[in-house]
């Protein structure tokens, strides 16, 4: 049996402004069941984020961020998680960005 559950941090995934269009482009993919997710928009445009590349799930203003804390304080196998191999997508809302990038980082549980 494990002594503790610790935080695993996935490498940051990003998409540059030139690749953000009027249709959804993939920013990154989860490789572990995700407990917490950090979305960042360091462009000069408002963007839509999508969990499926089809539906607009939430907008984000320029230089904005959003932390989605799904189940940080749960046991290793309890709680709700964002599934493995979930692709995250972004598109611009009304005007294309001219600088910057969007970033996607997720956090998961590691048993020690």
pTM of the full structure = 0.86
> What beta strand segments (E) does the chain contain?
5-9, 13-16, 25-29, 36-43, 47-50, 58-60, 64-69, 87-92, 100-111
The CATH number of residue 66's host domain is 2.60.120
Give the SS3 label for residue 18.
Answer: helix
- Enter the DSSP assignment of 51: S
pLDDT digits (tens, 9 = 90+) for 49-82: 999 999 999 999 999 999 988 776 666 566 666 7
Segments forming the whole domain that contains residue 11: 5-111
Count of other CB atoms within 10 angstroms of residue 73:
7
Instruction: Indicate the number of domains in the chain.
Output: 1
Tens digit of each residue's pLDDT (9 = 90 or more) over 2-50: 567 788 999 999 999 999 999 999 999 999 888 889 999 999 999 999 9
Q: State both tokens at 69.
A: 């804390």
């Amino acid at each position: 049996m494990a002594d503790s559950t610790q935080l695993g941090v996935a490498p940051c995934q990003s998409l540059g402004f030139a690749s953000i269009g009027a249709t959804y482009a993939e920013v990154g993919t989860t490789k572990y069941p995700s407990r917490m997710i950090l979305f960042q928009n360091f462009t000069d445009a408002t963007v839509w984020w999508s969990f499926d590349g089809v539906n607009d799930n939430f907008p984000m203003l320029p230089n904005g961020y959003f932390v989605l804390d799904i189940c940080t304080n749960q046991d290793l196998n309890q709680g709700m998680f964002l599934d493995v191999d979930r692709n995250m997508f972004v598109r611009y809302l009304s005007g294309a960005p001219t600088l910057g990038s969007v970033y996607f980082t997720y956090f998961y549980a590691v048993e020690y």
